[in-house]
Amino acid sequence: MITGKTNVIGVIGNPIEHSLSPPMHNAAYDEMDMDYVYVAFRIEKEDISKLIESAKVMNIRGLNVTIPYKTDVIEYLDEVDETARRINAVNTISFKDKVAKGYNTDGTGAVKSIEKYTTLEAKNVLVLGAGGASKAITFTLINNNINKLTIANRSRENACKLIDNLKRECNFDNIEFIPIGEAGDILGDVDIIINTTPIGMYPNVDVDTPIETGNINENHVVMDIIYNPLETKLLRQARKNGATTISGTNMLINQGITAFEIFTGKTPSYESFEKALLEQLK
């Protein structure tokens, strides 16, 4: 039951009505018998500064941040964790003693998901896309000692901006750009493939795959960060070719679990998050 003592946590974004975070976090509070509630707030960009100050005075314990505010929110925070600062995106804010501190759990969410299936150390990784999610994921991959990173993207300019930033922030030079249309040809030299483009996302589920899948084989681990559908056309074809496949639900759950830990100091079960998420996606 929600009482005067209940701790409030939330997520901000715009639009926000379809956020899957409230059901995941609330399911875990129920399972763990914690006096917390997690709600969604639709926020306009010009109100972000007021929002952070209001959250402090209202004693809100934490906020997740989703599209389109992960970078805009940074200037209004009191502290930003080193990883989030280098990625230049925050998806989790903790409030303690009126100090708002930002973190980024997207990259660790992705890496944890891959590490359930394979190690990252010394691997050659191909990342499709160079947008916001790619930024967090590529940064974290490099911090986990991969050997080589190839970024395949539609716009060379956007990919090169990301590559320059990664080289500067991570002191890591083994990064290459390839036009996304050519990425299917280099798979012989790749161990792990991660799709961060929206190609294959609902409702365009059967239209296209982000790369030609003919050369994907049983030696590849393929993760698609799209979570709707649960199995994208890319993952379906990769699975048929014998590859190990990882659905985007894994990253969504793992980034949420790390945020939950930051907010409450407790670790929820993967299963409680997964069950709530799958019920929503059904």
Ligand X SMILES: NC(=O)c1ccc[n+]([C@@H]2O[C@H](COP(=O)([O-])OP(=O)(O)OC[C@H]3O[C@@H](n4cnc5c(N)ncnc54)[C@H](OP(=O)(O)O)[C@@H]3O)[C@@H](O)[C@H]2O)c1
For 196, the token pair is 């961060």
Q: Binding residues for ligand X, per CB under 6 A?
A: 67, 106, 109, 129-134, 153-155, 158, 180, 196-199, 201, 225-227, 248, 251-252, 255
> How does DSSP classify residue 102?
E
Of 7 and 144, the one with the shorter C-beta distance to ligand X is 144
State the residue number with the nearest CB to ligand X. Answer: 131
Q: How far is the CB of 47 from ligand X (least distance, A)?
A: 21
What is the Cα 44 distance to its own chain's centre? 22
Q: How far is the CB of 70 from ligand X (least distance, A)?
A: 8
Radius of gyration of the chain (CA): 19
Let me know: does 240 contact 233? Beta carbons within 8 Å: no
Let me know: does 209 contact 146? Beta carbons within 8 Å: no
Cβ neighbour number for residue 60 with a 10 Å cutoff: 20
Rounded Cα–Cα distance for residues 225 and 110 (Å): 8
Q: How far is the CB of 135 from ligand X (least distance, A)?
A: 8
Of 91 and 95, the one with the shorter C-beta distance to ligand X is 91
Q: How far is the CB of 96 from ligand X (least distance, A)?
A: 25
Catalytic residue among 70, 112, 135, 233: 70
Of 95 and 105, the one with the shorter C-beta distance to ligand X is 105
Let me know: does 83 contact 139? Beta carbons within 8 Å: yes
Of 7 and 66, the one with the shorter C-beta distance to ligand X is 66
123 given a catalytic annotation: no
What are the residue numbers of the active site?
A: 70
